[in-house]
Amino acid sequence: MSEPKKLFIKTYGCQMNVYDSERMAEALGGKGYVQTDAADNADMILLNTCHIREKAAEKVYHELGRMKHLKVANPDLKFGVAGCVAQAEGAEIIRRQPMVDLVVGPQSYHRLPAMDDAVQSGVRAVDTDFPDDDKFETLKSRSKAKRGPTAFLTVQEGCDKFCAFCVVPYTRGAEVSRPADRVVREAQELVAAGVREITLLGQNVNAYHGHEGGLAGLIWALDKVDGLERIRFTTSHPNDMDDALIEAHGTCEKLMPYLHLPVQSGSDRILKAMNRKHTAESYLKVIERIREARPDILLSGDFIVGFPGETDADFEDTLALIREVRYGQAYSFKYSTRPGTPAAEKPQLPEDVMNVRLQQLQGLLTQQQRAIQESMVGREVQVLFEKSGRTDGQMIGKSGYLHAVYADAPTDVLGQVKRVRITHSSTNSLAGELCKD
């Protein structure tokens, strides 16, 4: 029997790319590939790319150049580029980088087995279509191999919002939702493999319409899955937080008290320029209703500093919104242009102005994050333990609020939810003691 071929996948960007990489590995598993953690002994290397960050395409070319010596050492090694950069730059990647054998977009990776056949015969393969066939149905069942206690599960892809700074509608396409019965089936397969917490993924996940009750309906359907103990979802748009979803946060015990709800700016003028289709006031009203349903919920957000045309007054409006909301976590970035988006054509702010604003905004967010973490000291929280710590006898898990929690515990707590009393708050984590049952 011949030895299995080795597949190395490097994943960039969001959780959806993590999920996609898992499914690509499963698709190629049927062609005899097994995953390896070492690029230097691989038979195929896939770069699963993200187009959100600045100069994303150039970073891919840089990575390919850095790996060129592997191709020199092993001429039979195959290189592939997948994901959003592949979707946006498919033909250009083939033109600029002769060592790349295949390019596949995020909607076409179920066709990887056929593409592998092509490249093994010496033909370079490109597939950046938005095919009519359902990639998830083509991929069918998940692997039955034992898994860790947490997993991502894509339920929705694409976006119809067309924010002025974002490339997602162009790289991932229009909003599509997976049928609820197929999502539930995949969740059951994950639970059977050892998963206890599932995070539902989508570029605009709360626009999910694969269940007649929307995302809330899907959450209640998953609530009935035996063995599934926790449910999360990300990323959401404020305009799609409907009544049923807000109510679910207060009534569904498996839905964790954590919500990532990007706002990007606190200035109505900038929000309009961004084409966000909500105002600071409407966002705050949504937050108020969510907190009425679940008073202890931890909120996370996204912020862009230095969007074209942002004034000092606009920036102060953002700081005021942050002070009012009190975020437990947040992601903040300087604005950077994305070719092909409306905002890319506008005059850009000076780099030094953006740097000062970002530092000030992140300072405020850090203060809020630390205050919320310190408020957890003395409380008992439910922790799903996921892995061993750096020292003997230490285990690491996540609280319902998505805080990393360290505790001295036996290894048999792995994959279990245990009560932990928080004793200490560090910069990015909490420490605690197991409570007696």
* pLDDT per residue as tens digits for the range 24-38: 998 999 889 999 999
* Final residue of a structural domain among 105, 127, 149: 127
- List alpha helices for 39-83, DSSP H: 56-66, 68-73
CB atoms within 10 A of CB 196: 21
CATH number at residue 392: 2.40.50.140
- 22 and 109 together in one domain: yes
- Tell me how far apart the alpha carbons of residues 331 and 14 are, in angstroms, rounded to a whole number: 12
Q: Which of 416, 50, 70 is nearest to 229 (CA)?
A: 416
DSSP secondary structure, 188-211, as one string: HHHHHTT--EEEEE-TTGGG--SS
Residues 151 and 283 in one domain: yes
Instruction: For residue 140, give the amino acid letter.
Output: K
Same domain, 273 and 335: yes
Look-up of token digits 């626009």:
207
DSSP states of 134-157: -HHHHH-SPP-S---SEEEEE-EE
Q: State whether 9 and 83 are in the same domain.
A: yes
Residues 345 and 388 in one domain: no
Q: What CATH number is given to the structural domain containing 67?
A: 3.40.50.12160
Distance CA 330, CA 369 (A): 8
CB 243 within 8 A of CB 207: no
User: What is the Cα Rg of the chain in Å?
Assistant: 22
Q: How many separate domains does the chain show?
A: 3
- Say how far residue 64 (Cα) sits from the centre of its chain: 24
pTM for this model (two decimals): 0.88
The verdict on 170 and 193 lying in the same domain is yes
CATH of the domain at 234: 3.80.30.20
**Residue 177: strand pairing partners:** 156
Residues 284 and 302 in one domain: yes
Kindly give the confidence (pLDDT) of every residue in the chain, 437 residues in length, as a single tens digit, with 9 standing for 90 and above: 568 899 999 998 888 889 999 999 989 998 899 999 999 999 999 999 887 666 777 888 899 999 999 999 999 999 999 988 888 888 889 999 999 999 998 888 889 999 999 999 999 999 987 766 667 777 766 666 688 999 999 999 989 999 999 988 888 888 999 999 999 999 999 999 999 999 999 999 999 999 999 999 999 999 999 999 999 999 999 999 999 999 999 999 999 999 999 999 999 999 999 999 999 999 999 999 999 999 999 999 999 999 999 999 999 999 999 999 999 999 999 998 887 899 988 999 999 999 999 999 999 999 999 999 999 999 999 999 999 988 889 999 999 999 999 999 999 999 999 999 999 999 899 999 999 87
**Domain termination site, one of 355, 375, 395:** 375
Asked if the peptide bond before residue 235 counts as cis, ω within 30 degrees of 0, the response is: yes
Could you tell me the residue range of the domain that residue 421 belongs to?
380-434
Same domain, 215 and 73: no
pLDDT tens-digit readout, 322-363 = 999 999 999 999 998 887 899 988 999 999 999 999 999 999
> What single letter denotes the amino acid at residue 315?
F
